[in-house]
Amino acid sequence: MNNKCWVCNSKNTFLKRKGLSANLINSSDFRVTDSKYGSTLDIFECKDCSFQFCPTDVNLLKLYEKMDDPEYIETSQERLKQAKELFNKSVHFFKSNFIKTLDIGCGSGLFVKNFMDNGFDAYGLEPSKSLAQFGIKNGLNIIEGNLENIKMDKFDFISLVDVIEHVKNPGEMILKCTKILNNGGLLLIVTPRKDSFFKFILGFKWWHYRLAHVGYFTKKNLLDLCKKNNLNLVHDFSPSWYFPLNYILNRIFLYIPLIKNVKINFFKNISIRLNLRDSMALIVTKSENKL
């Protein structure tokens, strides 16, 4: 197994934390709503750029293809609010000729719906058969599969919302995005931020340490990866998330030993906006010079 850093290619890496054996994981561990916080595969860290990653021989794509997530569908209304907020933040930087958009790892297509509802020629790409089919049945332009399945003209805007931390080849993914992005086009990347306050306080109990996450970025090393791929920063911000109150309480209980197994089903109709500043959003643009 190659333990070279996925961001800077340094061989100066070390085992930061011993994790679960790869043969113990299954597709349910890759649900968006998975709550087994602190469970990870082996985590290595780069001494040169501080990127953390989980080198594994597991076929991640196959697990995502089989993954379903009923709780994700149940919380669609709150997640739609998240999508609307990201939409409003992004379109502020659009040029007048921006028409075609692609959301990679689009889930059930909530971000795609925002763009379609606002007159854009919008598409989504999703490996999970269950989530992709749910969106397609709701009339959304979703392609089931991965980037290899994109066989169309270039896009003006591409988004990777909570996606890049799930792949073993983040540099390759960004490179592929630049190849299908028009010159002057925008790429939105949203991912957990390893150099955040709550990660510092919680350590490996941080809620973003999960089996589905195989890469953990700081703002600096993510920007460095973008620059390597001819992408320059336009804007960055800390995104907000929306959840039903019961969803939040059930996850807080996980940190309290005496009540960690308690589940509440009320407060479902109360929506809470959270911004803990432990996720980052970068809007970057492709240089006019082609790669």
pLDDT, residue 217, reads 98
Is the pLDDT score of 291 beyond 70?
Answer: no
pLDDT, residue 202, reads 95
Distances (CA, A) of 140 to 1, 27, 82: 39, 24, 18
pLDDT, residue 258, reads 78
Express each pLDDT in 229-275 by its tens digit. 999 999 999 999 998 888 888 888 888 887 877 888 878 888 899 99
Structure-derived torsion over alpha carbons of residues 82, 87, 92, 96, reported in degrees to the nearest 10: 180
Is the pLDDT score of 125 beyond 70?
Answer: yes
Mean of the pLDDT values across residues 84-99?
A: 96
Is the pLDDT score of 82 beyond 50?
Answer: yes
Lowest mean pLDDT across 3-7, 150-154, 174-178, 185-189: 150-154
Fold of 13-240+275-286: Rossmann fold (3.40.50)
Angle between helical axes of 170-179 and 219-228 (0-180°, round to 10) = 50
pLDDT, residue 289, reads 57
Mean of the pLDDT values across residues 113-130?
A: 97
Give the distance, in angstroms, between the CA of residue 95 and the centroid of all CA atoms in the same chain.
25
Express each pLDDT in 178-229 by its tens digit. 999 999 999 999 999 999 999 999 999 999 999 999 999 999 999 999 999 9
pLDDT, residue 188, reads 98
Angle between helical axes of 76-91 and 110-117 (0-180°, round to 10) = 50
Per-residue pLDDT band for 288 (boundaries 50, 70, 90) equals low
- Within 8 A by CB and 6+ apart from 267, the residues are 244, 245, 246, 249
Mean of the pLDDT values across residues 265-291?
A: 85
Is the pLDDT score of 99 beyond 90?
Answer: yes
Residue 53, token pair as written in the block:
């990653």
**pTM to 2 decimal places:** 0.94
Residue ranges per domain, the chain?
A: 13-240+275-286, 244-274
Lowest mean pLDDT across 32-41, 95-104, 133-142, 250-259: 250-259
